[in-house]
Structure 1
């Protein structure tokens, strides 16, 4: 699978980030706690250009807490500082400024030694589309400083946002990479609404999602859709079985698989399947 779909505004955004990196003291990368691997831009190491980094695992309210703990340990083993948040409710957000000050303690000392103690720290916020970046910034700023929405690609230009006298954030557009060489990455991004699910075949996406749920959270399928996922069933058969339980009949003996796929994805987005993570650290 090779999905090439890079919108023109993302090319412009990537150039803008490359040009602006020299203006900041650190880079904060916001990831979806359900898919920390797939929601990491592989270009981040190059884009961040060696700057100190903080990773925020956002939407922890929707992720499996045991798996989130594994990811936290995984990143910390690489020397990367981690903050867990649910930007929608504000959970964990108050830890952001202290975490930055700890990360940049040496920089703060350097500024003070140069007589620039009042100089604000400048931090770039990066994240893929629809990861909750703007909502997070608004919670940190305690005002509607960034445009937020539930569709990919709401933020289109950069803007500086003053948090207090000691911290300025550079909000950037959500960017993805030009193509997905991995079908799994493309599917994870579509399932979590980082890209429009229409980029992929909806029934195939739903069927493959069913397979992943059977492997990782079979009880969630049983509880929500009232059937036990048999190990011999393929993803389409599981979609059909769920459609039967929901009464999604098209004609005699035929069930609406596409409607069931849409329902499955929608209910996952809404958290109705429970706290489910789709990736574990290797």
Structure 2
């Protein structure tokens, strides 16, 4: 499934971020703990201009806790501060505030607010995080992507000056797994995705990685062999039937994706550190081979 979603306000947001970044002390990049790399916007690395970054794995209560611990270690090994976050845990919010202050000791010593830019793709919880830090509802929140349309600035009572930005996706999502994971998580508008395709991808993953959760959720004695059969099973279990007892696969797909997003299926992480390390190893190998082939071609042309 090819999904590209880069509305005009996202292009505008990217330009606004580039303007404000020189004034920023630390960038807080909000990631979805269930898919940390797929929800990591490569534009952030370019736009932040070597400013300190804190990778916040939000919605950690929906993610597999063992995999989340590995992701935190992974980002820290790469030199970025990282932490899981549940916004209902005040201790975790306090820790994030302290990490921001630690990243800009000069501002703290000068009794000036630490200027923090909150960044991330749509629907990862940026606005909810800001409201939690402020202790009141200021940033608009919605359970859909692209709620925040313009850059906003707020000053908190705890020594942080917070800049909010609209969620921005990058113009082209190269990795096909990332595309489907982003769609499954709700980062991409439902109107531009094929529910059945996303549900089949998700079910194939769950049958492989979390079969016990599927079995428990749908009260099954045994699981079907593949995703297609599992989707029909979901439809029958949830009463998604048309006349003649035919399964309404679109409705079944909507219910399955809804269960994933809400956490009703259980605590699930859609990707692993090992998977992405292997993907990047293969990408580097392919790039090296392509470079060597180009050099050989140029050498042949010269001789």
TM-score w.r.t. the length of structure 2 is 0.85
What are the residue-to-residue correspondences of 1:235-246 with 2, within 5 Å? 235-246=227-238
Distance 1:3 1:276 in 2: 23
What are the residue-to-residue correspondences of 1:1-282 with 2, within 5 Å? 1-87=1-87, 90=90, 92-105=92-105, 107-108=106-107, 112=109, 117-164=110-157, 166-227=159-220, 228-230=222-224, 232-233=225-226, 235-282=227-274
Shift of residue 213, structure 1, vs aligned partner = 0.6
Higher helix share: 2
Q: Deviations over 1:94-123 (max 9, x none)?
A: 212111122223x347xx4xxxx1222111
1:226 touches 1:242 (CA, 8 Å); kept in 2?
Answer: no
Shift of residue 200, structure 1, vs aligned partner = 2.1
Cα RMSD after superposing both structures: 1.7
Shift of residue 155, structure 1, vs aligned partner = 0.8
The 1:182–1:197 alpha-carbon spacing in structure 2 relative to 1, beyond 3 Å, is farther
What secondary structure is seen at the aligned counterpart in 2 of 1:123? strand
1:129 touches 1:174 (CA, 8 Å); kept in 2?
Answer: yes
Q: Which runs of 5+ in 2 are unaligned?
A: 275-303
What secondary structure is seen at the aligned counterpart in 1 of 2:30? strand
2:35 touches 2:270 (CA, 8 Å); kept in 1?
Answer: yes
Deviating 4+ runs (over 4 angstroms)? 88-91
Shift of residue 251, structure 1, vs aligned partner = 2.8
Distance 1:74 1:165 in 2: 29
1:249 touches 1:256 (CA, 8 Å); kept in 2?
Answer: yes
TM-score w.r.t. the length of structure 1 is 0.91
Distance 2:190 2:256 in 1: 12
What secondary structure is seen at the aligned counterpart in 2 of 1:43? helix
**Equivalent residues, number:** 273
Distance 1:152 1:246 in 2: 27
2:117 touches 2:164 (CA, 8 Å); kept in 1?
Answer: yes
Shift of residue 265, structure 1, vs aligned partner = 0.8
The 1:101–1:260 alpha-carbon spacing in structure 2 relative to 1, beyond 3 Å, is same
Shift of residue 76, structure 1, vs aligned partner = 1.0
The 1:34–1:46 alpha-carbon spacing in structure 2 relative to 1, beyond 3 Å, is same
Distance 2:136 2:239 in 1: 45
Shift of residue 198, structure 1, vs aligned partner = 3.0
Distance 2:245 2:138 in 1: 53
Distance 1:108 1:161 in 2: 17
1:88 touches 1:135 (CA, 8 Å); kept in 2?
Answer: no
1:2 touches 1:181 (CA, 8 Å); kept in 2?
Answer: no
Distance 2:211 2:271 in 1: 15
Q: Which runs of 5+ in 1 are unaligned?
A: none
Shift of residue 156, structure 1, vs aligned partner = 1.0
What secondary structure is seen at the aligned counterpart in 2 of 1:164? coil
